[in-house]
Amino acid sequence: MSGKRGNGEGSIYPYKNGFAAYVWVDTPDGKRKRKYVYGKTRDDVHDKWIKLHTEAKKGPVATRHRTLDAFLTYWLDSIVKPNLAPLSYVSYEGSVRLYIAPHLGTKRLDKLTVRDVREWLTKLAGICQCCAQGKDAKRSPSRQRCCAAGECCESYPSRRVVQASRDALRAALTHAVTEEEIGKNVASLVKVPKPRRRRIKPWSVAEASHFLSDGLARDDHLFAAWVLVLCLGLRRGEVLGLTWKSIDFATSELYVDHQIQRAGRQILHRETKTEESDDFLPLPALCLKALRMRRAQQTGDRKAAGDLWQDRHDLVFTTKYGTPIEPGNLTRMFALRARRAGLRVIPLRNTRHTCSSLLVALKVHPKIAQRILRHSQIAMTMEVYAEASEEAVRAAIGKLSEAMGGTG
């Protein structure tokens, strides 16, 4: 084709080894600038020029694009850190630093494609992270056993890690679309296999009763925590975040509104995740008795620690010096206590079904159990009661009540 401009194509002109064109656009910061497109032939440039005209009519168009690495740094520091929970920032930052930036960081934000994201995820699933992150090389020479010694340990990312990395990139690109730096979120168009959850059979009431009886016999300083987890279905962070102010012994109620979280190198005492998580829960007699025992234990710990006592939040469950208990340590202690009691080990979070059966065995009124279990319909609660109303179940919890001095 000749170099003569077509009718109405005044902005297309010969440039180096091809052609170029520009369109006046409004940028996201409110300024008016030229946006250029390039191609080897006039037809190529004409198509891009028409497309750019269409984009300019729809709204602001960015004239300069950052690399993905630069945008992710801005997104983490200016958007995620000040607006989301600390744990969310730690999770996103880890995904960006370890899995996204090393592979896609140099890509220009507006040039990132669906294929780029798909190929990255496929490649990521087959990269040994011990090798990629130099984990073995950071160990002392006497402890190096795989990558640094020339033997790959094949420490590949799990499906959950791959999914979390894709989700972090998708969240970042969603914000890039909101700020009109790009037109679409390519990460949302890539599907990843969902990690399969392993189904674990929860404890029966007899097993839970034996666990609590064993803890009571050993004067376990976390006995009340296990009672609240099993009888009220509280989450790990909610139990550790309880303060004495949130317990009303006169009305037999517990107010859940705070939690303990590990975020990076910090242990935080902060509000629960959502307003729906905050609630007043009735306390069965077994829970009240256990909390009174815990208060007496803590009084003894405070006297023994003297000036070393450091409790700033008036927490119910602390170390012997008053400091918050590490959430991960509570999980490990639960597993240790289960083994010590001769029971099969289940995850601490897998106790909610046992909780509902325990409420039946404790003869808690169905309406109160509905509040504790947070069932929207009383029919759901009554189904639980129908399943767990065996005499053997009641007998098991009765032995525990007698051991605690005859509480209900």
**DSSP-derived 3-state class of residue 343:** coil
**DSSP-derived 3-state class of residue 70:** helix
Q: Does domain 82-189 correspond to CATH entry 3.30.70?
A: no
Q: What are 146's two structure tokens?
A: 């795989």
> Alpha-carbon distance 368 to 315, whole Å?
26
Count H helices, E strands: the chain?
17, 8
> Alpha-carbon distance 125 to 32, whole Å?
44
List, in order, residues 6 or more apart from 12 with CB less than 8 Å away.
Answer: 5, 6, 19, 20, 21, 42, 45, 46, 49
Domain ranges of the chain: 12-58, 82-189, 205-403
| Strand pairing class (266-271; 279-282) | unpaired
List, in order, residues 6 or more apart from 196 with CB less than 8 Å away.
Answer: 159
Q: What are 68's two structure tokens?
A: 């993905």
**CATH architecture designation of domain 205-403:** Orthogonal Bundle (1.10)
Predicted confidence pLDDT, tens digits, the chain (408 residues): 445 544 444 478 888 888 888 888 887 767 888 888 888 888 888 888 888 888 788 877 776 678 899 899 999 999 999 998 888 899 999 999 999 999 999 999 988 999 999 999 999 998 888 888 888 778 888 787 787 777 788 888 889 999 999 999 999 999 998 887 888 899 999 998 887 777 778 888 788 888 999 999 998 999 999 999 888 888 888 899 999 999 999 988 888 888 888 877 777 777 766 554 556 788 888 889 999 999 999 999 999 989 899 888 889 999 999 999 998 999 999 999 999 999 999 888 888 777 777 777 667 777 777 766 666 677 766 766 655 544 544 555 555 555 555 544
Residue 154: left (phi > 0), alpha (psi -120 to 50), or beta? Answer: left
Q: Mean pLDDT, the chain, as a whole number?
A: 82
> Alpha-carbon distance 77 to 69, whole Å?
12
pLDDT at 120: 95
Q: Report in angstroms the alpha-carbon separations of 403 from 181, 214, 217, 286.
A: 66, 10, 9, 11
> Alpha-carbon distance 246 to 252, whole Å?
11
pLDDT at 153: 83
pLDDT digits 0-9 by tens, 60-103: 777 667 889 989 999 999 999 999 888 889 999 999 999 999 99
Contact at 8 Å (CB) between 118 and 190?
yes
Long-range contacts of 224-227 (CB under 8 A, 24+ apart): 224/287, 224/290, 224/291, 224/293, 224/294, 224/316, 224/317, 225/317, 225/330, 226/334, 226/337, 227/286, 227/287, 227/290
